[in-house]
A = this chain, B = another copy of it.
Amino acid sequence: MDYTLYLVTDRAMAGERDFDDLVGRAVRGGCTLVQLREKDASTGEFYERALRLKRVTDYFHVPLIIDDRIDIMMAVDAAGVHLGQSDMPAGVARQLIGPDKILGVSAQTVEEAEKAESDGADYLGVGSLFPTATKKDAIAVSRETLARICSAVSIPVVAIGGLNGKNIPLLEGTGISGAAVVSAIMASEEPEAAARRLKDSIYGIL
């Protein structure tokens, strides 16, 4: 798994633009995996959207991760699922999805990170590192906590929350395996170019 540049989707940010096309451009620009996040969709809509997006990620040979919903992940045979702390407990999720699917877990503290790793997480999403409009209730995580989490666990850690080309260099030396972005790509007029620049930034510190 390559966690270098992890795109987390936001349908509202796509606006009038074709969502699947936008994600495809981002992947063409260098995103190494994609998480589909649909907080307001019915199960039927989420399923249809996941099915459509999987055609895009399959075409570009990048893994598709489904936010929160193991049922959707299984229904479209996505690569894995990402769980927040208010989603299914990670240990229960691991039993349901089996050993081969990717299990990502959000963690904000060393304790949550160690628990997630022992529950079977394959990677951690840690943040928010910087102010973000996407998740207004996101807990702030300091650069120091991020570094302590990276030292405490042996699984890859992906930083998330307000990341862009300017602040990614500030995370040098923390031990992260990649950067997850939402608005820096989803809200960009040029998602492919944005992904390319972000990837240069993250390559610069890995």
Chain A: residues with CB nearer than 8 A to chain B? 42-45, 47, 68-71, 74-75, 85-89, 92-93, 96
Q: Do the beta carbons of A45 and B86 come within 8 Å of each other?
A: yes
Of all chain B residues, which has the CB nearest A75? B92
The distance from the CB of A164 to the nearest CB of chain B, in whole angstroms, is 29
Of all chain B residues, which has the CB nearest A47? B88
User: Given contacts A42-B86, A42-B87, A86-B42, is CB(A75)–CB(B47) below 8 Å?
Assistant: no
Q: Do the beta carbons of A88 and B69 come within 8 Å of each other?
A: no
Contact of A43 among B42, B47, B74, B88 (CB under 8 A): B88
The distance from the CB of A171 to the nearest CB of chain B, in whole angstroms, is 29
- Determine the chain B residues whose CB is within 8 A of the CB of A93 once the complex forms: 75
- Determine the chain B residues whose CB is within 8 A of the CB of A69 once the complex forms: 43, 71
